[in-house]
A = this chain, B = another copy of it.
Amino acid sequence: MAEAVRHDKTARQLRLLSDALDSGRLGPVRRLVNTLSPAEIGNLLESLPPGKRTVVWGLVDPEDDGEVLVHVGDEVREGLIADMDPDELVAAVEDLDIDDLADLVEDLPDTVIDEVLKSMDRENRERLEQVLSYDEDSAGRLMNPDVVTVRADTTVDVVLRYLRLRGELPEHTDHIYVVSKRHQYLGRIALQALLTHEPSTPINRLLDDEQPAIGVDETSEMVARQFSDHDWISAPVVDDNNILLGRITIDDVVDIIREQAEHQALGAAGLDEDEDLFSPVRRAFRNRLIWLGVNLGTAFLAASVVDRFAGSIEKLAALAVLMPIVAGMGGNAGTQVLALMVRGLALGQIGASNVPTLVWKEVRVALINGLALGAVLGIVVLLWFRSPALAAVIAIALTCNLCFAALGGVFVPVTLKRMGFDPALAGGVILTTITDVMGFLTFLGLATLVLLR
């Protein structure tokens, strides 16, 4: 129910827009589009098939073009950029913040980059080059070099006069930073503190030096973690010598958190997060083929196990009927353990010290589930095939496979993480290979031993 109410503004706009587009009335489309924020326009463009997308893109206010480009996925972005001529592109991106521009740069044609660099003053050009020199996935790439700094040996009054002189502050400024003569980071002053203290108050007294600065090489994942652990709105970024380089703001961190979640959800299905709803068929095919190919390989492995027992199956077709149940239930149970482990690993909650306790807990859960579900399964099999021996075999095989699932569910992600792989991506396919192979092996093997000799 709640879901229905929640039905997004975007979905409603999409319907309105789609109707207007179909009727060819571009005036209403333009008006509708330009009531939206750049992020919303980006979302809308991603929801349109390429033909309509081009039409709507042409109607977006040129002032928003740059921000919209920042907010769409890589594939859609390439398409939009291909629709623009170089002059439009230069105009669209030259006023972007340094961090946003750094995001776009690799998708822009070289001629456009040259033009944009030429149009920037030397300071900004150097800043852009600096930001681009950091790893794509690092704090350096996320930061905006535009920060407001003051010295410690002054008063609120002086700072207020300086700020009035300076005029507008960078977006989402909630603190100004206090630096030494050599531009080393000393601490921060909340704008709030400037507003609530008497003009004569020395800046020193308002200095908050408790929030640690972020190192420029920290990964974006670590940055996001710290922001949400400490409820930060912004944080200073420093180099190894504690020299203040820039500032990261929560809005970029929110984007990272969303991207990580998407990456995990799509990655678990073997998809690139850049694949969008209307990726060209050729590209979508290529994106998915590798994953399906890997899965085909593991399916052959499981099939070869079944093949070993072809003789048993010929004698008792019921084995073929029942074997997918044992394998599939192992996969489901293992996936539950895997999901818990992936979350725990992402939160840094799992280490050598608690893995044994975890294994012991999961094996106990598997044993109890095996008894409960095995009993149900055994009774159904007994009624279906009238064979107490077959019923006992499948109940035992199920319990064994749930235990293998528990062990795999714990050790597969821990091992992947230790080897430097993302457990959320490769974990599922490895785990279900284990539960398929072990499920077929225990069930068909036990059945052959007990029933067919």
- Nearest-CB distance from A354 to chain B (Å)? 6
- Nearest-CB distance from A76 to chain B (Å)? 11
Q: Is there a chain B Cβ closer than 8 Å to A222's Cβ? A: yes
Closest 3 CB pairs of A and B: A8-B348, A10-B348, A47-B349
The answer to whether A339 and B3 have CB atoms under 8 Å apart is no
Closest to A192 in B: B169
Closest to A18 in B: B353
A300: chain B residues at CB < 8 Å are 325, 380
Q: Is there a chain B Cβ closer than 8 Å to A132's Cβ? A: no
Q: Is there a chain B Cβ closer than 8 Å to A85's Cβ? A: no
Number of chain copies forming the complex: 2
The answer to whether A320 and B325 have CB atoms under 8 Å apart is no
Q: Is there a chain B Cβ closer than 8 Å to A369's Cβ? A: yes
The answer to whether B332 and A270 have CB atoms under 8 Å apart is yes
Closest to A268 in B: B339
A39-B228, A281-B368, A311-B317 are known contacts; what are 11 more A-B pairs with Cβ within 8 Å?
A9-B348, A11-B350, A43-B348, A172-B233, A194-B195, A195-B195, A254-B254, A271-B340, A295-B329, A310-B321, A320-B323
A48: chain B residues at CB < 8 Å are 354
Q: Is there a chain B Cβ closer than 8 Å to A299's Cβ? A: yes
- Nearest-CB distance from A295 to chain B (Å)? 5
- Contact partner of A296 among B253, B335, B377, CB < 8 A? B377
A254: chain B residues at CB < 8 Å are 227-228, 231, 250, 253-254, 257
Closest to A50 in B: B357
Q: What are 13 A-B interface contacts by the 8 Å CB criterion?
A: A2-B420, A4-B418, A15-B353, A37-B229, A48-B354, A168-B196, A169-B192, A172-B174, A233-B250, A266-B339, A270-B336, A288-B333, A313-B313
- Contact partner of A368 among B10, B285, B350, B380, CB < 8 A? B285
Q: Is there a chain B Cβ closer than 8 Å to A421's Cβ? A: yes
Instruction: Give Cα distance in the complex from A254 to B261, angstroms.
Output: 12
Instruction: Give Cα distance in the complex from A8 to B218, angstroms.
Output: 11
Q: Is there a chain B Cβ closer than 8 Å to A397's Cβ? A: no
If A303-B325, A317-B314, A348-B11 touch, whether A229 touches B43 (CB-CB below 8 Å) is: yes
Closest to A278 in B: B361
Instruction: Give Cα distance in the complex from A314 to B320, angstroms.
Output: 9
Q: Is there a chain B Cβ closer than 8 Å to A306's Cβ? A: yes
